[in-house]
Amino acid sequence: MTAVLSKCGVALQLTPVGSTVFAGLRARDADAGVNGLVEYFLAEGAAGAAAAAAAAEDPRLSAADGFGVFAIPLPHQGQVTLVRALDYERTQRYLLTIVASASGNATRSGEALSDESSDNVTPNATPAPAAPQDRARNASERFSTTTTLTVDVKDEDDLEPSFIYQGCTVLHGACVNPEYRATVSSGTLAGVLAVRPDRIQAVDMDSLDAPVRYSFLSGAPATYADYFAIDAATGAVRQVRAVDTAVAKSFDIIVKAEEDTATRRFATAKLVITVKPVDTSPPTITASALEGFVDENAPKGTRVLDGDGAPLTLAVSDADLLTTPFFAVDEAGALVVDEEKLDRDPPSPGKFRFQVVARERGGPAASAPLSLAVALRDVNDNAPQLPHLPPVAVPAGEGRRHVVRVEATDNDLGENAEITYSIFHVSNNGRQRFKIDPQTGDIETVGKLSAGEQYSITVQATDNGGLLSQSIVEVQVVPGPNTRSPVFEQPVYEVQVSEGAAINSTVATITAIDPEKDPVTYSIVSGNDLRQFTIGDRTGVLSVIRKLDREDLTRYQLLVKAEDTGGLSSTATVNIRVTDINDKNPEFVNDPYSFTVREGVEGAKVGVVHAVDADEGANAVVYYSVPDDVPFVVDAMTGEIRTKVALDYEKKQEHRFVVTAKDGAPDPRLATATVTVAVQDVEDELPIFHILNYPARVPENMPDFLVTQVQADDPDTNQQVTYEIRQGPTDLFRIDPRTGAIHTIRGLDYERESQYVMIIGTRENPGSKPGDTTRVDRNDIPPVFTTVPRPVTLSDDAPIGTTVSKLLATDSDGTAPNNKVRYELIGRGKAIKFFQIDSDTGVITVRDSLRKEALTEYLLEVKAYDLGDPRLSSQVQVQVFVRHQTTPPPGQKGIAFPDDTYTAEVPENATAGTLIKALTIVNGPSSPNEVPLGCNITAGNDDGLFAATISPNGRSCEVRLQRGELDHETSTSYKLTIALQTLMGLIDPMHRTSQLKVQVLDINDNTPRFIFPEDSAVLSHGKYYGAVAADAPIGTSVIQVKAEDADSGPRGAVQYALVAAGAGAGEGADFFAVDAASGVLDPAGTDVWFYLVDPRNDSVLERASARVQRSILSPGGVSNITHEVAMELAAAATVVGLHEPLQEPVRTPTTAVAAVNWDVFPYALIVIAVVILVLGVAGIVYICISWSRYKAYKERMQRMYVVPRYDPVFVEPNLKEYETQVLQMSVPLDDSDSYNDLQLDFSSKNHAFSLDSVSYLTKDHNEDSIGQQSPASSEAATTARASSVVGAGLSDPMNAPDPPLLPGSFSRASDEDFAALSASATNENVAFREKKDYSHLGFSYLGDKNAVETTTEL
C-alpha cells in the first residue's frame, strides 16, 4: 500500500464546529477489490510526543494532540472535520496521527510513501488503540500506514485590548478594573504627566498585534478636555492648560483604548488627576544638562549621564526634590534610575520627558517646574520574530522559482535590529532544493520538484547579537507549468444597463474557461476610471457599484482580464450603453421671468419662457402650462405667454403666477418658474366718489366758511379731477375745482333756511350712477362696499402678512360716528385660522402658513359696520384660491401606500378605539407639521364602524374601530378603501388609495338552539315526540334531534348528551342514549322480566316473601342471577343488576285520531286560480299545464308503489313506555288518492308526534289482549335490567302460553316478531304509497361538536 498524505493544514480560530478543515488525505493501494479500499482513522495519543517536541523547539508555540478536537466522520473519504471549538490563545498547533488501513495478503509486502521518517508500514501489527481495524478478517493480512497532520490555528480578532501595568488584578491575562493616578499643581502647566503606577499602555490580547489608539471617552467635570489631552499613539497624557483648584480639586477621566481594526474592539480604564495647590515662595532649581542618556535595562541606581558623559546633576536651594517615578535624585544631586527594567522597545517610549520641582521641607513653597528628557540607549534584548505563514503551493519543474518571502521583525534599533535569514532544516531530504536570501528572506527553489511532493522548511532569523527565532514554511508541489491562457466565450460583449440600476445589480456575466481546468480570476483592466463597475473575481459577474448618470456619460468600454493560477491571461471587451430613465427635472432658463403688457388688449403677447430637460427621447420633451385661474394662456410647446382676457390696470397693476414645465414621460417630472407681468396703464378710468354723503354744520352769518371738503379718486396713473356743484344754491356756496373744498360765499340766515343739500360731481365724469357724485348734507344708512371683490389666487408659499385684498365700504350718514366704518372677518370653516383683516383699513392679509392645510379654496365673510346706534352693517364674500405648488424631491416618488391591499383580523367583541391596522406611509414628511397629511375611509364604511386617522408621528394611517358593534354572524368581513389626503403635488396618484380587508373573527358568543317542529294545534312547541316498540332491539333509532349554533367553525359545532338521571331528566334517561355527533336517540337498555315459582307447589312467590329476600335478593343470589343472564345473553349485553318493577301512574285510556285537513287543498287551488285569472290568460294557461303534469306524475307513481293499510287500534296508554307503539297517522282511509297528496316533512323541525294521538297494541296470540294490564303492576314480578342489548330479543312472559319459567330459564323471540314490530331510524314504519326522499332539505343530522350545550325535554 502506498500512502501519499498531505501533512499540513490551517484552521481559522473562529471556524464553526462541523466544518471541514482538511480534505487532502490520499492513500493508494495496489490491491484490487475490497483489499484495495482504504480507510482513514485518527489515533489517540500518538502525536503527543511530536507536540511536545514542537513546543520545545519554539517555546512560544503551544502544541497539542488533535485527537478529540478533530475527527474523520467518513473513513473512506478522509476529510478531517472540526468537532470542538478552537482557541488560539491556548493552543496554536495541533498534531494528528492519521492511520490509513487497507485489506491485503500477508504474502505481499506493504510499501508506504511518506514525507516523515516516523511514517511506517506495520504488517501483522495492531493499529493504534483508537484506530479501527482494517477489513481483513485475518490479522496477519492487515496493512496500515501512518502519518502526522499538522494543523496550525490562525488567530482572529476575538479579544478586546487590555491595559497592563505591574500590580494589577489579572483575570485570563488581562487587568481587571485598571486605574491610573496623576498629580498636577494648581496654576502650573505640567506638560506630560507622570502617571502611576505605570504609564498608560494597552496591548491587543490577540496575536494580531493590532495598533491601539488612545482617547478620552468621558470625564468629570465636563471641562476636563480643556485642560488635558492624550496622545493617540503612545497614551501619554499631557496638560494643555493650567488648572486652578477653584475649578476642580480632581478630574476623573475614562481612558479608551481601541484597536485600529474593522471590529473596533476597545477597553477602558480610569484616570484620576489630583490638582494640588501651588507654593507661595518656591525654591529654585538648576541642572548640569537638560538632556541625559542611560542604557536600557540599566540597574537601579545607574547614573544618568549628559552628552559629555558626566553625571547629570541638579542643584536646588531646597533639599526637597521631586521627580518622575522612573528617576530619582541621589544625595549628591545626581539623577539616577529609580525603576527596574526600563524598556526602550515599542510600545514603550524611547525617551522620557518629565519635570522636576523642588519644594521646601515642611513648607508650602516650591520651585518652577524644570523640564528634563532622558533617552534610553538600545540594548539587544529582543530576538527577531518570524510570522506564521500559510502553506505555499509551488508548481513542479526545475530552475529557480520564487516560493515566498519571510520577513521577521525586531524591536531593537540599529545594528541590534539587523537580521540574517537561513534555512535550518528541510524535511523529505529537501535541503539542497531550496535556498534563502540571507538579507531579504526570499526563498527560492534550486532543484527539481515533482508534483505531489511536500516539504517543511524551517527558517531561522538571527540578529547581530545572536538572538534567533524559527518558523516553519509548508511547501506543496502542484502540477505545472501553465501553458494555455483562459478563453472567453466571446471577445466582445454588448450590454445595456439603465442609469437607474440599483447598487450591486448585475450588468452581465462574463465567462472564460481555462483549457487546463485551472480556476479563473476576473478583473477590470481599463475603462473603469470612475469606479462605476466591479466584477466578481471568481464568478465573473459584472455589477454596478456606484450610481450611474446617463447625462454625464452614456457609454463605457471595459477591458476585462481572465487570469488562471499560473499567471496566463486573456482579455475581452465589454461595451456598456447606459439607457435613459426619467431622472432629470426640466429646468427653466432665466427663472424668474418679468414681462410688461398694455392693459385692455386680449390675446396680446406677453413673453416666452423656456425650459430644458437633460434626459433624452420622450423624457426630454417639455410641455408648458399655467393655472386656469390666471388671465393668461401659454403655448404648450413653445412656451409663449399671451393674455387670455383684457387686463385692467386699475383693478390689478401686477400679475404673478407660476408656469409649470412637464416632460413627456408616463410618470412626468416637472419644474416651475415664477412669472411677473406688469400691466401698463392707459387713461381710461373716470373719477369716482367713495363717500356718497358728506354731513356738515355751518354757523349763520359766516361768509367764506369752510363747509367741508369732498374727494374723488381717479384710478388712472395720471390723475385729473375737476370738482363742480351739480345741484344746490351756487349763489350761496362755491367749490374749489382742484381741492374739492366747499366755502360759503356770504353769510347764511338760519331763520330763512336751516338746511341745504348739494350734489357734487366732477367734470371728467358726467354720469349719475352711485359714485359718480356725492351728497353733502344723520345714522340711518348702513355701510356699503364700493366694489365687489374678485376671486384671489395665492401660492401656498405666500408669507405671513401677504396682502390678499383690500375692501372699502362707505357710510352715507352725515355725521360721526354714524359714518365711521369698521371691518370684521367672520369667515367660514378654517378661513379665520389662515386670514385676518385690519379693522380700520379693510386690508385682508395672510395669518398663517397655507401649507398646513391641503384645502385649495377658502370663502371669507367680511362684515363692514358703522359706529352708530343702532349699529348697521353689510357683508360681502371674498373667494380665495390656494395654489399648492409643492412637488416631491428629485428622484423620490410622492407620498403613497406601499401596498395596494392589506388584510387585518379583529375579534367581534373588540371595543371602540381598538387599533385594527396601521398602514405604513412611504415618502412621507420628515415631521408631522411639515405638510398637511390626512387619511380617510372613502368606501366600505357604510355603517360607520371604522375610522382612519394619521398616527402622531405621521408615518402611518391608523384604522380603528369607531363603534364596538361588530358581529361575525351579521357580516364576516369588511372591505375598506383608505385614501391619503395631502397637497396634490406631493401625493403619488397611482398609490393614493389602498384596500383593507377586515376579517371579523368569530368568538363563542351564541348558545346552541334546538330546532323544533313548526307550531301546530296538536303538537306542543318546544318538545320532541317519538315512539319505540317495547321489544325493539337495542340500537333501534327512536328519533333524531337537531340543534344549531350561530357561531362558525369549531365554535359552532354541537354535541348532544342526555341529562343525567336525577337532574330533572326523569327515569327514561337510564334506558336511552343519544349519539353525541348526530343527535340520534337509541334505546340503551331494557328490563328482563321473570317470575319466581316455588318448585314444590308451582306457585308464584311474592316479592316480599322471606324466601325471595333470603335466596334471590341476597348479594350471592343477585350475583348468580346476573351471571346466568349474562351467560344467556353471551357478549351481546351487560347485566347491571336486579330492581323492582317500575310503577307507572294509572292513566285513563284515551284514543285520539290526528286528522290532517287536506280538504283545504282544493280550495287553495281554486283561490290561486282566481288570483291567476285576475292576472291574465297567460297565467291560467301556465297553471293548467302544470296541473296536467302533476296528475300524470301521480298516476305514474301509483303504479309503482303499493301502500299498506294500518287500521286504528286502541290500548291502555299506561303501557306507552314499554309496549310496542304503532303510530296511526291521521290519513283518510276511504280516499286512496289522498295518500298521494300526503306531504310530511321529516326534517329536524317536524320530527315530533303527539303521544295523545298514538294508539298502542300489545303483542299477543289472541285479540282479547287489547287493554290488558301490564306486568309492571303485579306484585310477583321482578325485573333484571340489561343494557346495551344489540341484535337479540327477550320474550314477554305475560304473552307466553306456557307456564312461567324458573330463574335462569329464558326463551328468545323469533326474528319475525322483531321484524314486524321494530322501529326504524328513518321512520319507514310509516309507509306511503309514494315514497318520499327528504335528503334534499339538508338535514343530515351530522352536526359538528361544540362545548356549549343545551337540553330539551324528550
pLDDT digits (tens, 9 = 90+) for 544-589: 999 888 878 889 999 999 998 778 889 999 999 988 888 888 999 9
Q: Are 792 and 811 in contact (CB under 8 A)?
A: no
Q: What is the pLDDT of residue 561?
A: 94
Instruction: Identify the DSSP state of 1272.
Output: G
What type of residue sits at position 623? Y
| In 449-491, beta strands by DSSP E | 454-463, 468-478, 487-488
Q: Would strands 632-634 and 555-564 be described as parallel, antiparallel, or unpaired? A: unpaired
Q: Are 1089 and 1271 in contact (CB under 8 A)?
A: yes
Q: Are 153 and 11 in contact (CB under 8 A)?
A: yes
Helix (H) or strand (E) holding 1163: helix 1160-1175
pLDDT in tens, 1113-1147: 777 777 777 777 766 665 445 666 666 675 555 54
Q: What is the pLDDT of residue 462?
A: 93
Expressed in angstroms, the distance from the first to the final Cα of the chain is: 93
Contacts of 404 (CB under 8 A, 6+ apart): 389, 392, 442, 443, 473
Q: What is the pLDDT of residue 36?
A: 72
Residue 132 binned pLDDT confidence (cut-offs 50, 70, 90):
very low
Least confident among 189-203, 590-604, 1052-1066: 1052-1066
- The larger pLDDT score, comparing residue 215 to residue 68, is at 215
The answer to whether residue 1241 scores a pLDDT higher than 50 is no
Least confident among 198-207, 440-449, 963-972, 1336-1345: 1336-1345
The answer to whether residue 974 scores a pLDDT higher than 70 is yes
The answer to whether residue 951 scores a pLDDT higher than 60 is yes
494 beta partners: 575
Q: What is the pLDDT of residue 110?
A: 33
Cell numbers 520538484 correspond to what residue?
Answer: 449
φ/ψ of residue 1128, rounded to 5:
-65, -40
Contacts of 1116 (CB under 8 A, 6+ apart): none
Q: Are 443 and 405 in contact (CB under 8 A)?
A: yes
* 335-360 average pLDDT score: 73
Alpha-carbon distance of 293 to 299, in angstroms, equals: 14
Alpha-carbon distance of 532 to 523, in angstroms, equals: 14
Residue 533 binned pLDDT confidence (cut-offs 50, 70, 90):
very high
Three-state SS for 981? strand
Q: Would strands 587-588 and 611-612 be described as parallel, antiparallel, or unpaired? A: antiparallel
* CB atoms closer than 10 angstroms to residue 626: 18
Describe the crossing of helices 1177-1198 and 1160-1175 by its angle, rounded to 10 degrees.
150
587 beta partners: 612
Q: What is the pLDDT of residue 598?
A: 87
Alpha-carbon distance of 480 to 142, in angstroms, equals: 37
Q: What is the pLDDT of residue 3?
A: 44
Q: Are 1045 and 1052 in contact (CB under 8 A)?
A: yes
* CB atoms closer than 10 angstroms to residue 269: 23
Q: What is the pLDDT of residue 642?
A: 94
Residue 1100 binned pLDDT confidence (cut-offs 50, 70, 90):
confident
What type of residue sits at position 151? V
Residue 1142, CA distances (Å) to 1139, 1270, 1281 in order: 9, 11, 11
Q: What is the pLDDT of residue 655?
A: 93
Least confident among 8-12, 491-495, 1040-1044: 8-12
Residue 216 binned pLDDT confidence (cut-offs 50, 70, 90):
very high
| Sheet with strand 506-509: strands edge to edge | 506-509, 541-544, 533-535
237 beta partners: 230
pLDDT in tens, 453-508: 889 999 999 998 888 989 999 998 887 666 678 999 999 999 998 888 889 899 89
| Sheet with strand 670-680: strands edge to edge | 593-598, 670-680, 654-663, 622-625
* 22-26 average pLDDT score: 77
pLDDT in tens, 674-725: 999 998 877 667 788 888 888 888 888 889 899 899 988 887 767 778 899 8
Rg (CA), the chain: 58
Q: Are 95 and 51 in contact (CB under 8 A)?
A: yes
Residue 126 binned pLDDT confidence (cut-offs 50, 70, 90):
very low
Cell numbers 390666471 correspond to what residue?
Answer: 630
The answer to whether residue 888 scores a pLDDT higher than 70 is no
pLDDT in tens, 354-365: 777 776 665 556
Residue 1331 binned pLDDT confidence (cut-offs 50, 70, 90):
very low
Q: Are 522 and 512 in contact (CB under 8 A)?
A: yes
By CB neighbour count within 10 A (0-12 exposed, 13-18 middle, 19+ buried), where does 509 fall?
middle
Residue 1217 binned pLDDT confidence (cut-offs 50, 70, 90):
very low
Instruction: Give the length of the chain.
Output: 1354
Alpha-carbon distance of 93 to 472, in angstroms, equals: 12
Quote the distance between the C-alpha of residue 567 and its chain's center: 49
Contacts of 553 (CB under 8 A, 6+ apart): 530, 578
Q: What is the pLDDT of residue 804?
A: 87
Q: What is the pLDDT of residue 889?
A: 60
This prediction's pTM: 0.28
642 beta partners: 605, 633
Taking CB atoms within 8 Å and a gap of at least 24, the contacts of 1200-1206 are 1201/1328, 1201/1329, 1201/1330, 1201/1331, 1202/1329, 1203/1232, 1203/1235, 1203/1327, 1203/1328, 1203/1329, 1204/1327, 1205/1229
- Write out the three cell numbers for 1037: 333509532
Three-state SS for 1231? coil
Residue 542 binned pLDDT confidence (cut-offs 50, 70, 90):
very high
What type of residue sits at position 976? L
Instruction: Identify the DSSP state of 1111.
Output: I
Q: What is the pLDDT of residue 559?
A: 94
Alpha-carbon distance of 405 to 459, in angstroms, equals: 11
Mean pLDDT of the chain: 75
Alpha-carbon distance of 1006 to 38, in angstroms, equals: 74
Q: What is the pLDDT of residue 279?
A: 54
Instruction: Identify the DSSP state of 1112.
Output: I
Alpha-carbon distance of 361 to 365, in angstroms, equals: 9
- The larger pLDDT score, comparing residue 352 to residue 738, is at 738
Q: Are 599 and 648 in contact (CB under 8 A)?
A: yes
* Preceding peptide of 592 cis, ω within 30°: yes
pLDDT in tens, 657-678: 999 999 988 889 899 999 999 9
Q: What is the pLDDT of residue 858?
A: 84
